Amino acid sequence: MKTLVTATLVLGLPALAADWPRSTPEAEGLDVQPLEAFDAELKRGDHGHVDSMLVIRHGRIVFERSYDRDYARLFDAKRHGPRGIYNYYDDTWHPYYRDTRLHTMQSVSKSVTSLLVGIAIGRGEIAGVEAPVARYLKGFRMNGDARQERLTLKHLLTMTAGIAWDESTVDYTDPKNTCAAMEASKDWVQFVLDQPMAEEPGKGFVYNSGATELLAEVLHQATGKQADDYAREYLFGPLGIESYYWKRIPTGQPDTEGGLYLVPRDLAMLGRLLLSDGAWEGRRLLPEGWVRDSVTPHVSATSRSKQALQYGYKWWLVPAGEGRPVVIAALGYGGQQLLVVPDLDLIAVFTGWNIYGDHPDLPVMLSTKRVLAAVKR
């Protein structure tokens, strides 16, 4: 495992967070009993190591809980290999960053990266989703396969890159997992480009964290800024997100596939941005239509999960059942979940660290069902 080379760190102790107005479930059309029942299950550990639950309706916090977990004890039992930034059993990095309340977002970072791509398109710094990836990868070695030259940003955004990649072993300490091999390499972008092409881009969904790391370099070459600095100026700053941490990889790019740390309330701010169609306090952060396109199902993601999920521009579309609205989700390893339901003006956030494989966990279909069970009107 690697040693951190450089990183973005903007935090206070304890971590600052968005100041949301508060209300009660009943005042916002929710039944508190299903939420309290779910809270009791999470507190008991019925769904593994979940450490927070947050529900927001009509822009107001209506239910917020945190759960103390003895991660130090859990890591003592499971820790193996050298400690460090990409050892997921190192409790100085996971799930909290160095005794702060900043929580690892893991692949929720991918959804945030998608927002940054949208901002760059809106600002005219990226031509659009059909732009060829190679245009923004000057200085890197392509693998010589003509199919790689046909890669577009849309292919990266929708996990249809066609690159030979295997994250089906959902253990990011296993070197058989291609993402784990990437994280052990010295140059992640070049590692991804060196992988063979398995099929024509756009043909089918294959979950590929490396595709999002390519977007880190795309953003850098297109905007002249690293993705974390770009986020500070054009996303986090306008939203009032003052406290976060974003790991950088050995070559200096931010870990856009999994390196962001936020507190739950600030993660919920990104959900609020989706609900407002990318506008914030009279200022448009995302170009008109970007949110719609991002959460449009572009490809079936059933190869990643037996559940009938769809995938947009690094956002999951979760079916909530017949007669129920589709739920937009950002999901991350270990149980990070941002759930957004535009039709109900509802946001829910869960964080945790369910990586041990020997206990129950919290599937997104379950958390979605339990939150929606509270909706009365």
- Taking only the tens place, the pLDDT of each residue in 334-361 is 999 999 999 999 999 999 999 987 778 9
> Per-residue pLDDT for the chain (377 aa), expressed as one digit of tens each?
333 434 555 544 345 566 899 999 999 999 999 999 999 999 999 999 999 999 999 999 999 999 999 998 888 877 766 678 888 989 899 999 999 999 999 999 999 999 999 999 999 999 999 999 999 999 999 999 999 999 999 999 999 999 999 998 877 878 889 999 999 999 999 999 999 999 999 999 999 999 999 999 999 999 999 999 999 999 999 999 999 999 999 999 999 999 999 999 999 999 999 999 999 999 999 999 999 999 999 999 875 555 679 999 999 999 877 777 789 999 999 999 999 999 999 999 999 999 987 778 999 999 999 999 999 98
| Closest by CA position to 357, among listed 170, 108, 105 | 170
Q: List phi, psi (to 5°) of 68.
A: -75, 130
pLDDT of residue 172: 83
- The pLDDT tens digits for 105-124 are 999 999 999 999 999 999 99
| Side-chain half-sphere exposure of 229, counting CA atoms within 13 A | 11
CB within 8 Å of 191: residues ≥ 6 apart? 181, 182, 185, 210
Residue 210: what pLDDT?
A: 98
Contact assessment for residue 62 and residue 25, using Cβ atoms and an 8 Å cutoff: yes
Q: Among 53, 93, 102, 48, which Cα is nearest to 75's?
A: 93
SS (H, E, C) the chain: CCCCCCEEEECCCCCCCCCCCECCCHHHCECHHHHHHHHHHHHHCCCCCEEEEEEEECCEEEEEEECCCCHHHHHHHHCCCCCCCCCCCCCCCCCECCCCCCEECCCHHHHHHHHHHHHHHHCCCCCCCCCEHHHHCCCCCCCCCHHHHCCEHHHHHCCCCCECCCCCCCCCCCCCCHHHHHHCCCCHHHHHHHCCECCCCCCCCCCCHHHHHHHHHHHHHHHCCCHHHHHHHHHHHHHCCCCEEEEECCCCCECCCCCEEECHHHHHHHHHHHHCCCEECCEECCCCCHHHHHCCCCEECCCCCCCCCEECCCCEEECCCCCCCCEEEEEECCCEEEEEEHHHCEEEEEEECCCCCCCCCCCHHHHHHHHHCCECC
- Which of 250, 243, 226 is CA-nearest to residue 6? 250
pLDDT given for residue 8 in this prediction = 56
The C-alpha atoms of residue 370 and residue 16 are separated, in whole angstroms, by: 29
Per-residue confidence (pLDDT) for residue 86, from 0 to 100:
86
Q: What is the pLDDT of residue 5?
A: 39
Q: Which residue ranges form the domains of the chain, and what is each CATH number? A: 7-372 (3.40.710.10)
Q: Are 192 and 182 in contact (CB under 8 A)?
A: yes
The CA distance from 89 to 121, in Å, is: 37
**Distance, CA of 137 to CA of 142 (rounded, Å):** 9
pLDDT of residue 297: 94
